[in-house]
């Protein structure tokens, strides 16, 4: 036991000695939540329709009531002719949406014929979509109101137009509405488990071999099992350190994003942090054993790096797939994706699928143990130890 502790200490001291590469491993954990939050802050502004939506309305004089109605809903008409005149007109953000009111608008309307307005806009422009929808909605509302008034003028109750009443009862909770973003957030956290320990895993395996210190280690009176365990524990510790960091930073950073503008909130609670950490332990174990295993398989440091990037894709693909709601149910039972799903259910306020979580965590641990046994066996072979 003492030997094992000494082994872990050695690994950790070794790792900490190279401060730059330690930091490089943890930059991800620190930077990702900050970058994501910054990105969302910008995106939210782009996705929502501005409070004052300025559009061009041509021939506004044909329908002053409609123009004022839209104005009351925050959709302002900017006169295309005066656009050059005003000095501060350039400061106004005019969306590329044009409403043209037909010349026979008033004439048709007086005869209760449909009066034509033309809406010109590029519906494929994602930045405009919300604004276009909003304009359409308001036009629809104006249309409905006018229709109602026409019926009233004819002595008919406008309720007759509503033959069925649809009352939607949305089962979503305020937390689950942010599901997609939460999925991405959890994904970045799981990713950090894999990233944070990676440098150390390569360094302590392929790196140590390149520096010829691996053989020296093995010549000490310790078993291969102790050596493997020591390395695994050291790498796992680093992975978990990364996880703790990203959790702490996410908790602070996510609170700053104005999620409410999108109609939901994202709250990283301490309960979630505790659960994420607990679930993260087997995942970290899997990450470290997998990374060590692949690194030992490789002959050189550089080769290890390339292989790892490829191999890591598998658990990350699982995690990413699970972060979308369209994921097949089978993913709930697999390692990594099972945990990710359980975390998402927790944060959405649903019951955690304990069975699936237990199975996927058990699978994670079994794979890790298998990999450790594999490592142990590998290190008994000279080919591996000397990288022949």
Q: Which residue's CB is nearer to other proteins, number 138 or number 203?
A: 138
In the complex, what is the shortest distance from the CB of residue 79 to other proteins, in angstroms, rounded to a whole number? Answer: 14
When the beta carbons of 2 and 167 are compared against other proteins, the nearer one is 167
- Would you give the binding string for other proteins spanning residues 34-53, x where CB under 8 A is met? -------------xxx-x--
Phi first, then psi: give them for residue 383, nearest 5 degrees: -55, -40
Site string for other proteins, 52-81 (x = CB under 8 A): ---------xxxxxx-xx-xxxx-------
Nearest CA among 207, 294, 200, 276 for reference residue 238: 200
Expressed in angstroms, the distance from the first to the final Cα of the chain is 32
Helix-then-strand count for the chain, H and E: 15, 4
**335 contacts 364 by C-beta, under 8 angstroms:** yes
Would you state the structure tokens that stand for residue 311, as one six-digit string? 């191999």
Closer to other proteins by Cβ: residue 168 or 310: 168
Q: Which of residues 148-167 bind other proteins (CB under 8 A)?
A: 148-160, 162, 165-167
Rule CB under 8 A: choose which of 145, 325, 355, 377 binds other proteins. 145
For residue 323, the minimal CB distance to other proteins (Å) is: 18
Whose Cβ is closer to other proteins: residue 174's or residue 374's? 174
* 8 Å CB contact between 41 and 258: yes
**Of 43, 102, 97, 91, which Cα lies nearest the Cα of 75?**
97
Sign of CA dihedral 69, 70, 73, 74: negative
Phi and psi for 17 in degrees, rounded to 5? -65, -40
Give least dist CB 375 to other proteins, A.
47
Taking the least distance from each CB to other proteins, the nearer of 54 and 224 is: 54
Q: Report the alpha-carbon distance of residue 42 to residue 207 in Å, rounded.
A: 41
Query: Would you tell me which residues interact with other proteins (CB under 8 A)?
Result: 47-49, 51, 61-66, 68-69, 71-74, 105-107, 109-112, 115, 130, 134, 137-138, 140-141, 144-146, 148-160, 162, 165-174, 258-265
């Amino acid at each position: 036991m003492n030997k094992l502790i000494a082994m872990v200490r050695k690994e950790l001291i070794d790792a900490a000695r190279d401060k730059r590469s330690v930091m490089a491993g943890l930059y991800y954990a620190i930077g990702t939540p900050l970058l994501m939050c910054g990105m969302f802050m910008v995106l939210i502004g782009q996705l929502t329709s501005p409070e004052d939506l300025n559009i061009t309305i041509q021939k506004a004089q044909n329908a002053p009531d409609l123009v004022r109605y839209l104005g009351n809903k925050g959709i302002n008409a900017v006169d295309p002719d005066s656009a050059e005149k005003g000095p501060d007109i350039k400061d106004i953000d005019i969306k590329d949406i044009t409403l043209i009111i037909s010349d026979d608008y008033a004439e048709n309307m007086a005869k209760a014929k449909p009066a034509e307005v033309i809406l010109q806009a590029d519906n494929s422009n994602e930045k405009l979509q919300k604004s276009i929808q909003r304009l359409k909605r308001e036009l629809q509302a104006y249309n409905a109101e006018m229709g109602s008034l026409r019926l009233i003028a004819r002595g008919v109750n406008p309720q007759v137009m509503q033959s069925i009443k649809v009352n939607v009862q949305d089962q979503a909770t305020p937390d689950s509405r942010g599901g997609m973003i939460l999925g991405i957030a959890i994904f970045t956290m799981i990713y950090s488990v894999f990233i944070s320990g990676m440098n150390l895993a390569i360094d302590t395996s392929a790196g140590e071999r390149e520096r010829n210190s691996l053989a020296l280690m093995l010549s000490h009176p310790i078993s291969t099992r102790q050596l493997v365990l020591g390395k695994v524990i050291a790498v796992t510790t680093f992975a978990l350190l990364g996880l703790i960091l990203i959790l702490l930073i996410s908790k602070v950073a996510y609170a700053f994003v104005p999620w409410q503008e999108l109609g939901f909130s994202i709250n990283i609670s301490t309960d979630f942090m505790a659960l994420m950490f607990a679930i993260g332990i087997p995942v970290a174990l899997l990450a470290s054993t997998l990374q060590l295993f692949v690194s030992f398989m490789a002959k050189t440091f550089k080769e290890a790096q390339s292989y790892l990037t490829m191999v890591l894709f598998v658990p990350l693909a699982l995690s990413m797939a699970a972060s979308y709601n369209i994921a097949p149910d089978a993913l709930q039972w697999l390692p990594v994706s099972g945990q990710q799903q359980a975390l998402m259910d927790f944060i959405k306020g649903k019951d955690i699928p304990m069975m699936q979580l237990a199975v996927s965590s058990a699978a994670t641990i079994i794979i890790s143990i298998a990999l450790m046994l594999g490592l142990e066996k590998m290190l008994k072979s000279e080919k591996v130890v000397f990288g022949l």
